[in-house]
Amino acid sequence: MRNFTILVFASLLSLCVRAESAKQVTSNAEITAQTPALLCVDQADNRIWLFDPHATGDRKPTLWSYPGEEQEPLKYRPTDAKRVKIDGVVYVLVAYHGRVQLVRFNDKKCVKELPAYSSCHSAELLPNGAIVTANSNHGMLRLHRSAEDFVDLKLPYAHGVVWDKARECLWAVGDSLYRLSVTEAKLTIEEKFALPLSPTGHELFPLRQEAKLLVSNNDALFLFDIASKTFERISELTEIKSASQHSDGTIWAMHPTAIKGGASWQSDTVLRVRPQTPEMRYRHPGSQFYKVRWWQSGGCVSCD
């Protein structure tokens, strides 16, 4: 009888675990590109988090994390994270100092891992499955075809890369803003645009629908209009590390602030910069964010 009771209990426990697992997958499946959530690169514990900023309380509920909250954090420091899709499947592309990973969203399985420079600051997925990384201190873009097969292109102060689906080209920011062509074998610079104020580009991220790029340097945050090839200053805040557009059209940024135990490039807050008033911000005490962006598709025009 005792053995039977143990067997029944074990079976019920197994069912509960499977039900909880199924519930999690269903929950993840319900998170679309329009879900008002923040994708956060948190260097406090080297995790990528997806938070609901509208929830009550200081520590917002976790919608998703990589590695999972029950798992040990990775030893590599993350520097960027983007939502991407391959054949209708959602992934998170994560850049670290020293490597880049492609993580399937639903089950958090790392399906691709490639070595990168130790100064890797950002990454972008290309339509053919190759990945481009921007490596700041090394001043290099790297086109990764596989772990052993890659080519480099010198690009001073390389900090950000964005694939432009509409124009089938790559944008990169470093000491200038660059437009590049991409083939299986190499990256080629086609155009170069001087950054306003100083050659210290950092953030590069597209608007959701308009053909414009968010570009930051040490001095301010700008919008680059691809058609007119002009910059518009939209925030006087300096040293902005990341910026993105909410589905309602507002623009938000991660601006470094003094936080306990944090570095000069980190913050626990994301704030609205356009419109600037009334002031709106979301804070997550205990975090050391490097980049925070609204959960959305990549590319200059939304594909969802």
CA distance 234 to 85: 30
Both tokens assigned to 170: 């790559």
Ordered per-residue pLDDT tens for the chain, 304 residues: 444 333 333 333 333 333 333 334 335 757 887 788 999 999 999 999 999 988 877 777 899 999 998 899 889 999 999 999 999 999 999 999 999 999 999 999 999 999 999 999 999 999 999 999 999 999 999 999 999 999 999 999 999 999 999 999 999 999 999 999 999 889 999 999 999 999 999 999 999 989 999 999 999 999 999 999 999 999 999 999 999 999 999 999 999 988 888 889 999 999 999 999 999 999 988 999 999 999 986 555 434 5
C-beta separation of 269 from 282 below 8 A: yes
Query: Looking at the DSSP assignment, which residues form a beta bridge with residue 153?
Result: 141
The domain segmentation of the chain, as residue ranges, is: 38-294
- pLDDT computed for residue 128 by the predictor: 93
- pLDDT computed for residue 22 by the predictor: 35
- pLDDT computed for residue 27 by the predictor: 52
Query: Looking at the DSSP assignment, which residues form a beta bridge with residue 231?
Result: 224
CA distance 145 to 119: 19
CA distance 91 to 93: 6
- pLDDT computed for residue 267 by the predictor: 94
CA dist 210 to 180, 206, 272, 294, 300, Å? 20, 8, 19, 16, 7
Q: What is the DSSP string of 116-172?
A: --TTEEEEEE-TTS-EEEEETTTTEEEEESSSS-EEEEE-TT--EEEEETTTTEEEE
C-beta separation of 53 from 38 below 8 A: yes
Q: Where are the alpha helices (DSSP H) in 147-295?
A: none
C-beta separation of 176 from 199 below 8 A: yes
Both tokens assigned to 202: 């950092």
197: left (phi over 0), alpha (psi -120 to 50) or beta: left
Phi/psi of residue 301, nearest 5 degrees: -130, 130
C-beta separation of 216 from 205 below 8 A: no
Whether the predicted model's global pTM rises above the 0.75 cut: yes
CATH code for the domain defined by 38-294: 2.120.10.80
- pLDDT computed for residue 87 by the predictor: 93
- pLDDT computed for residue 217 by the predictor: 97
